[in-house]
Structure 1
Amino acid sequence: MNARTLLVAFFCCLTLAVQTPAQADDISKEQAAFFEHDIRPLLIKRCFECHSDESEKGSLRLDSRGALLAGGDSGAAIEPGKPEESLLIEAIHYESFEMPPAGKLPDAEIALLTKWIQMGAPWPGGDDALIRHNAKDKITDEDRHYWAFQPLAKVNPPEQEEARWNDNPIDRFIRQQQIAAGVTPNAKADKLVLLRRVCFDLTGLPPTPEQTERFMQDPTPQAYEKLVDSLIDSPQFGERMATHWLDLVRYGESDGYRQDAYRPHAWRYRDYVIDSFNQDKPYDQFVLEQLAGDEVAPDNPDAIVATGFLRHWIYEYNQRDVRTQWQIILNDITDTTSDVFLGVGMGCAKCHDHKFDPLLQRDYFQLQAFFSPLMPRDDRPAASSQEVAEYQAALAKWEAETSEIRTKIDELEKAPIAGAIKKQTEMFPEDIQEMMNKPVDQRAPFEHQLAEMAYEQVEMEISRRRGNVGDDKKKAEYKKLQAELAKHPKPKSLPTAYSVSDVGPQAPPTYITGKERLGEISPDFLTVLDASPVSIEPSSSSTGRRSELARWITSEDNALASRVIANRLWQWCFHRGLVATPNDFGNLGTPPSHPELLDWMSQEFMDQGRSMKSMIRLLVTSETYQLATTRTAAADKLDLDNRTYWRSQVRRMSAEQVRDAMLAAAGKLDRTTGGPSVSGTTPRRSVYLKVIRNTREPLLDAFDFPERFSSSATRNTTTTPTQSLLLINGAFPLQQAERMASTIRKAGKTNEDRIRAAYLSAFSRNPTTAELEGALNFIQQQLTITREHAAEEKPLAIAKLKKLDKSGVHLKPDAEVSQLSASLQDFTGASFTVESIVQLDSIYSDASVRTIASQWNGGNTQPGWNFGVTSEKSRYTPRNLIMQLVGANSLDQTVYEVIPSGIHFELGRPYYACVQYVRDDSGAAEVHFFVQDLTEATAPLQTAVVKTEIIAGLRNDYPFVIGGRTGTKSCSFDGLVAEVRAVPSALTPDQLLIQQTGEVNEVVGHWKFAQPTGSLASLEGGVDLTSGDSAINSDTAAWVDFCHILLNSNEFLYVP
């Protein structure tokens, strides 16, 4: 036996020798009875006033055996089995300390404590078990009788004499309070008001022309109910309801903090929420899947995606203090869970007992203990068992085929990866390094959590080091191996979701922060609701804690949670909860305006299978929901704040509704459902926009879109100068006004018809006679003004191309006309073609690009494309024909890519130059180039085909610009442009302009600059061109101004 073995053996023997007697596991029934009968009451009566979780004088607590062993400022309070060496006995004898200070204990009580310590200080439940009597003392009968914690009252809807108020049970409660207040309710709102109100509330969108006509022309009494049913059954219902839920759960698609990295798979949780509302998933199942989908349905991909609820916390990617970061994450999950499902803000109880509500600090960490075993998972596929099995089989086959190649690649990467691991690991504190270096099977659960979180940073460094294999010889070998590997296509990875699991069946310990000496905290429910201990059965792979929490939250006995969701459903329909503070049912919140109605709704919701659609339908078909918004002096005098719901509330549209309604009015709203999130430049619904926490969409941000760092139950409704400026001068409202103008000009041949079309698009109604007359006058005045400005337009400079009998417009950066623009709004689809005949006269001395045509502002994060020629210092060599793209790759990441053709221009020589972006049915994309020198009749047609990783997301609202880019004079063309043709598809070679043999039916713009007058007005191209980077001509401008006014009107922005 060596010295190390002897030392270990000696240490083990020593440890056994000094174990204290009467541990929790081996105390006798007699000892337990002695403690419960004599010691527990004595400690509570004599010691807890100064030494418990309520007060820790001298940093000493006496409410657990662990606390007594840990002691306070003067050391351990007891030495089990040795009363003569115990400070507690010394203090109660008044030999040094004098405790309790109010007077020495009776001898009988001193004898009891001495006997107890002599027995080994037996403590039922173990060292960490707290005496719960003190917590119960803190929760008074008055606390337990607070309205939110009471069982649901058994109430029946009161009968009403008026038939109007007796059909729907909601109305019967509401009318009862109106009668008590002496308030007379409004009449029902007219049909158009109801149409717009219920469409915005249930779908978030204005009614379509078809919905408007169908409802307004339906004279039957059931017309409104049929409308409601159609809206609830539409896909847009889930999209609207999801916005409420996503606010609550602080849904975001970025990390927050300074880097704010994008989370490309977060959208799957958003789609899960939308689908759950559309499927009318029972609320208890909805809760269970989000809190514990991995525990209750591990083979259900939807349930796995649902646990994304637990992944919306903010995260600092380079934080070395992983202990603190993990605690911040657990705190966030604890806070959000209590806010969302229990409607009580527990944040204050994190540091101390809540000052106003009966929420103990211990309650906070008991709730947190349900989440302490969490393991973030990014590797679980959002796929069925069959899909997983098929993928694994294909992957195994690929791995077998490529084993030798990959082994050689691994050998080359071995050194750089080892360096990356060493470098990153050494950046962490020593204790974290030890955890990271431990074999996984030797880590304790908490160690594994911290080690894996730290290792995320190591993985980032490894990915950066891959390919850095050393000298040129190794690089050449590496490149060759990668080429060999590419000959064996790897099976496409299954989609993944941000989800969670437990670290295993054993949970890491939970402690009250800063009071770890008090021992481990077990998972338990709020003391004020349920003081009995919770019983949890772990499985082979999970602790089972979260599923137990979810079942408690949705239990029929949990009146608080039932009231919370009932109140939310009311709020989503009436825009104010019966409890006006939906995330705070405590003393700092507001009591319910209609407590009996809230309890009836809570019970009815459970009785009807927790169907959210059923309850929402009941609410919006009530007479109360359908009231007019008219205010009366008599009713205002009795109920100015409308607490009795005698009228409906006029409200401004939400941020998403403002944007979506503008797109709908313009006729450009893309109603595609689901899928990866998109940028704000696309016409998708706002619920599908990327939610980047630190870089929010300007329009949504201005109209009070929440920051999504924490749970938001209500939204602010502000009125600010920023909103006005954005509506008047912002790019998005102006672009939608342009699109709307383009749409309505095609809707009728007369100005009257166009004005009617505009009113129908914006307000779902026809204009009145006075409105029609005023609009006609406005259009005429604007046409006069814009035509006067157009008469002052600078003429185009026209010149001959060298060696050709063809003219072109001379575009150059310092010319009066340096760019030309057209409004080609949906040009950039799956494939498109841009053809040109140009003569380039110069290139830049730096790396800037001479742009032939574009739909882009030059920003590397803004979607778009640019077709041009490189300059002197370009990394792609000068005079190279290129395409620049900014769009989404297969991982839905926004990337910037330069696609070089390898075909070079000669200056001063005319060329036919064409580029095509082509995406095939498999989703792969390529860029095709075609170039021909026009000075030689026999010159060949040069071609190039280059793959691109950008497969989507190029579309934007920018105009089609010839000779430059939107919003900048840099990267302008210098030379002659004779002809440009734009086709929203990929042409075959015989359809190219240069061939002129195949017919093309989809041309959206074809401009020939051969007119000797050099006037834009004389051009024929299918779409009007304007000088500069704005695509609005004089006649269009008048209609754009008119549409812009409608989109800024109160009738558009407010819902009565």
Structure 2
Amino acid sequence: MFRCSRRLMLCCSLVALSLASAQEPAALRQETRAARWELDIQKGRAHWAYRPPQKVAAPGVKNTAWPRTDVDRFILAALESKGLTPVDDADRRTLLRRLSFDLTGLPPAPADVEAFVAETSPKVFENRVDRLLASPRFGEKWARHWLDVARYAESTGKTVNFNYPHAWRYRDYVIAAFNADKPYDQFIKEQLAGDLLKSDDAHVTAERLIATGFLAIGPKTLNERSGLKFELDVADEQIDATTQAFLGITVACARCHDHKFDPIPQKDYYALAGIFRSTETCYGTVSFINAQRTAPLLSLPGEANPVVAVSRLTDSERHRVEGQIKSVRDSMKTMRDGIQQFFAGGQISLLQGRLDAYDAEGNPKLLAMGVRDKSTEPEPGARRGRFGGPGGFTYDGTRSIADSPIYTRGESDHPGDSRVPRGTLQVMTSEPLKITPTGSGRLEFAEWIASRENPLTARVMVNRVWLKLFGRGLVPSADDFGLAGRPPAHPELLDHLAHRFMDDGWSVKKLIRYLVLSHAYQLSSTAERGAMEIDPDNTLLWRMTPRRLDAESLRDALLAVSGQLDTTPPAGSVVARAGEGPVARFRPGGDAVAAAINDPRNTHRSIYLPIIRDNLSEALALFDAADPSLITADRPQTTVPSQGLFLLNNAFVMRAADAAADNLLKKDAEAERIREAFVRFYSRPPTAKEQAGAQAFLESYRARSTNDRPSALPPDRELWSAFCQALFASAEFQYRK
């Protein structure tokens, strides 16, 4: 009886509390919730990543002869505290191969290896570092790292996959930026607000407009029927890309609700959404909601480069395109199905876009993807159109600069009554971001990210550079510096590097130079039993961690050692030459794009391959290239049978093996050919055991080559091609130690 009474009293109390909560004024509930978040945000500021980097003096060490830089002192102090010592240094051949792949993505030439080994100058390594940093190949290698983070691709992806014919300009901008050692803070501002940075130099203005392609090249759901949802999704993708790429945190998780791990309320998300919704994204293709016209592109100042521009539009071609537009428009009068109308309307839009890409004299205009601020004058959000039959309309989106409401559960049909002032994240700022009423706030936001006072920006970039050089980030969760991520293994070293990076003018090249000249970078990858038992993951950096070459470096190495590599940057992109429209083999230009993706005759560097979402090159996809729809700081690494089969059977690999065999056959003696192959492929001569093993392989292959297995190749070429392919498939060729 007593227990029943207690239960009844408890139930009554809960009902009363529920009724009181339901009758509580909405303003009071919001105020209570805001107070709770204020406490959470204040507590969140204690998280290591949200605190400013501290300047810490390098610690003292027992073995004072070992350190060459302060990096070494931080590392050695941690090792000594665990009773560990670093392994011996890597030999010169291994070290040069490591350095060459890390800085340029290519193996060293045999002559360079021999010269490096023979050099007696105490600055031989330092001089080689400077030479590789000055090479144009450096920008191609390190631009690819950034393009992983920037989710670079030349198509929209998702269910309706349309080309981005102008995306290649952003790729080339990134390559040039790394080669020129553009200060990283400037690099940030140009990508987020380059259109708002003023310059009297037409070339600089064009470069900055192209840089904003960062915000335009993301994946898009072009068949989304709701115009408002499409706009919100584009802004969401831009928020996700920006905050992950530059800050290493996942702000987009707060679109539907307060962030589950980090002190980022939904209010902060929509403060950023207001900035990006006040920005017009110029990506240059059609969408379901705007099937009658293409999204705009940015017009660049100056004359079009005749090498990469489309050929001049003649009067006869103009008349032909106008005729095609009339034909498709007439056929639309009989269409009722929405999907048919979408593609037909899109065809008209693309044909009209082709005409709009030329001036009155038929000369090509210089166009690029990017962003620009919307007008401060409000315009209607919808316009009449043919799509959807009588009474249908197409949505133009928010056409003016404005703050955004909070959408309940992130759903476009549930906006809140009030709007959130445009701003940034409370956890990393004590005062609201001051935004001019006539601007989107992108420039102020970019300057806030690129500020020395931002606790994340320098740390995130330093960690990414460290990851690419040492195989593992100081912060292992390179994509997440938030509370769900992992703490840094060497927090003082991370802060030391962040401060040095900023003090050196945000120079990426100076940072890389500083790191590779450290003793820690030059260690061998030898595994020692005692150290492996204490630190199996090499968290304390007692050796260099060996790792497989990334997909692009592996493909480029195949071309380089076979003598096929063409280091001349191609003009534009095959996607640009195919023009606007869906990624498809059955349309004009579609065959060229599809063929170029896996063309075994393409000998340009891998960074210049077409990057089509959902249709990556087999050579890249098999070896864990980044998914171009995702922001990727640290690529996953898999080992699967299909990788070995690719190296044994793929036409590109066999073509490289044939070319390498032709080079070896220029040597007369078999022993010389074996040595030449090892020096080219591994940057070292064979050991006596390897020399004997190679001889045995050749003899065995000859014995098995009978008339029962005809070959299109001459016997010697087939033999040496098989030998080269065996070396390609070896772990030593695929790994950088």
Map residues 555-704 of structure 1 onto 2, 5 A cutoff: 555-673=451-569, 675-677=571-573, 679=596, 680-681=598-599, 682-704=602-624
TM-score, with normalisation over the residues of structure 2? 0.81
Cα distance in 1 for partners of 2:233, 2:716 equals 58
Equivalent position of 1:1041 in the other structure: 722
1:332/1:420 CA distance change after superposition, 3 Å: farther
1:529 and 2:406 correspond: no
Map residues 299-310 of structure 1 onto 2, 5 A cutoff: 299=202, 300-310=205-215
Equivalent position of 1:27 in the other structure: none
1:512 aligns to what SS in structure 2?
strand
1:776/1:423 CA distance change after superposition, 3 Å: same
8 Å contact 2:657–2:721 — kept in the other structure? yes
Map residues 714-753 of structure 1 onto 2, 5 A cutoff: 714-746=634-666, 748-753=667-672
1:527/1:147 CA distance change after superposition, 3 Å: same
Q: What does the per-residue CA deviation read over 1:808-856, in whole Å, with 9 as the maximum and x for residues that have no partner?
A: xxxxxxxxxxxxxxxxxxxxxxxxxxxxxxxxxxxxxxxxxxxxxxxxx
Q: What does the per-residue CA deviation read over 1:219-248, in whole Å, with 9 as the maximum and x for residues that have no partner?
A: 221111111111111011111111111111
1:779/1:375 CA distance change after superposition, 3 Å: same
8 Å contact 2:563–2:660 — kept in the other structure? yes
Question: Which of 759, 762, 765 is equivalent to 2:678?
Answer: 759
1:321 and 2:226 correspond: yes
Q: Percent identity, aligned pairs only? A: 36
More divergent stretch after superposition (609-618 vs 252-261):
252-261
2:652 aligns to what SS in structure 1?
helix
1:460 corresponds to which letter in structure 2?
Answer: Q
Equivalent position of 1:357 in the other structure: 262
1:423/1:345 CA distance change after superposition, 3 Å: farther
Cα distance in 2 for partners of 1:664, 1:275 equals 22
Map residues 364-379 of structure 1 onto 2, 5 A cutoff: 364-377=269-282, 378=284
1:1039/1:418 CA distance change after superposition, 3 Å: closer
1:424/1:705 CA distance change after superposition, 3 Å: farther
1:370 aligns to what SS in structure 2?
helix
Q: What does the per-residue CA deviation read over 1:371-401, in whole Å, with 9 as the maximum and x for residues that have no partner?
A: 112212245567444x3899xxxx9xx99x9
1:516/1:721 CA distance change after superposition, 3 Å: same
The aligned length equals 645
Going by fraction, where is helix more abundant, 1 or 2? 2
Question: Which of 700, 707, 717 is equivalent to 1:789?
Answer: 707
Equivalent position of 1:844 in the other structure: none
1:645 aligns to what SS in structure 2?
coil
8 Å contact 1:629–1:650 — kept in the other structure? yes
Map residues 950-989 of structure 1 onto 2, 5 A cutoff: none
8 Å contact 2:422–2:435 — kept in the other structure? no
Equivalent position of 2:50 in the other structure: 149
1:369 aligns to what SS in structure 2?
helix
Equivalent position of 1:61 in the other structure: 26
Equivalent position of 1:263 in the other structure: 164
1:235/1:376 CA distance change after superposition, 3 Å: same
1:182 and 2:76 correspond: no
Per-residue deviation, 1:158: 2.3
Cα distance in 1 for partners of 2:299, 2:103 equals 29
Q: What does the per-residue CA deviation read over 1:271-315, in whole Å, with 9 as the maximum and x for residues that have no partner?
A: 111110100000111000000111114751111111110112222
Per-residue deviation, 1:194: 0.5
Question: Which of 594, 607, 628 is equivalent to 1:708?
Answer: 628
8 Å contact 1:139–1:528 — kept in the other structure? no
8 Å contact 2:159–2:223 — kept in the other structure? no
8 Å contact 2:154–2:165 — kept in the other structure? yes
Cα distance in 2 for partners of 1:730, 1:315 equals 33
1:517 aligns to what SS in structure 2?
strand
Structure 2 unpaired stretches of 5+: 1-16, 285-295, 377-399, 409-413, 575-595
Per-residue deviation, 1:406: 11
Equivalent position of 2:591 in the other structure: none
Cα distance in 2 for partners of 1:407, 1:189 equals 64
1:503 and 2:503 correspond: no
1:228 corresponds to which letter in structure 2?
Answer: V
More divergent stretch after superposition (272-281 vs 414-423):
414-423
8 Å contact 1:295–1:544 — kept in the other structure? no
Map residues 214-363 of structure 1 onto 2, 5 A cutoff: 214-297=115-198, 299=202, 300-363=205-268
Cα distance in 1 for partners of 2:319, 2:86 equals 81
1:179/1:462 CA distance change after superposition, 3 Å: closer
Per-residue deviation, 1:418: 6.1
Map residues 15-30 of structure 1 onto 2, 5 A cutoff: none
Per-residue deviation, 1:213: 2.3
2:471 corresponds to which letter in structure 1?
Answer: H
1:284/1:424 CA distance change after superposition, 3 Å: farther
8 Å contact 2:321–2:351 — kept in the other structure? no
Per-residue deviation, 1:1039: 1.1
Per-residue deviation, 1:425: 12
1:406/1:1049 CA distance change after superposition, 3 Å: closer
1:537 aligns to what SS in structure 2?
coil
Cα distance in 2 for partners of 1:455, 1:382 equals 26
1:56/1:639 CA distance change after superposition, 3 Å: farther
8 Å contact 1:302–1:382 — kept in the other structure? no
Q: What does the per-residue CA deviation read over 1:739-761, in whole Å, with 9 as the maximum and x for residues that have no partner?
A: 21122112x11212221221122
Cα distance in 2 for partners of 1:1053, 1:189 equals 18
1:136/1:773 CA distance change after superposition, 3 Å: closer
1:351 aligns to what SS in structure 2?
coil
Cα distance in 1 for partners of 2:320, 2:304 equals 27
Per-residue deviation, 1:631: 1.5
8 Å contact 1:344–1:584 — kept in the other structure? yes
Cα distance in 2 for partners of 1:666, 1:281 equals 34
Cα distance in 1 for partners of 2:160, 2:560 equals 35
Cα distance in 2 for partners of 1:412, 1:568 equals 53
8 Å contact 1:183–1:639 — kept in the other structure? no
1:244/1:763 CA distance change after superposition, 3 Å: same
1:718 corresponds to which letter in structure 2?
Answer: T
8 Å contact 1:288–1:550 — kept in the other structure? yes
1:772 corresponds to which letter in structure 2?
Answer: Q
Cα distance in 1 for partners of 2:493, 2:615 equals 42
Structure of higher CA gyration radius = 1
Cα distance in 2 for partners of 1:607, 1:351 equals 39
2:520 aligns to what SS in structure 1?
coil
Structure with larger RCO (C-alpha < 8 A, sep 6+): 2
1:414/1:197 CA distance change after superposition, 3 Å: closer
1:420/1:554 CA distance change after superposition, 3 Å: farther
More divergent stretch after superposition (593-602 vs 416-425):
416-425
Going by fraction, where is strand more abundant, 1 or 2? 1
Structure 1 unpaired stretches of 5+: 1-48, 68-129, 429-453, 468-481, 483-487, 794-1025
1:519 aligns to what SS in structure 2?
strand
More divergent stretch after superposition (529-538 vs 1035-1044):
529-538
1:538/1:294 CA distance change after superposition, 3 Å: farther
1:414/1:364 CA distance change after superposition, 3 Å: closer
8 Å contact 1:424–1:461 — kept in the other structure? no
1:1053 and 2:729 correspond: no
8 Å contact 1:417–1:462 — kept in the other structure? no
Cα distance in 2 for partners of 1:750, 1:661 equals 25
Cα distance in 2 for partners of 1:546, 1:245 equals 21
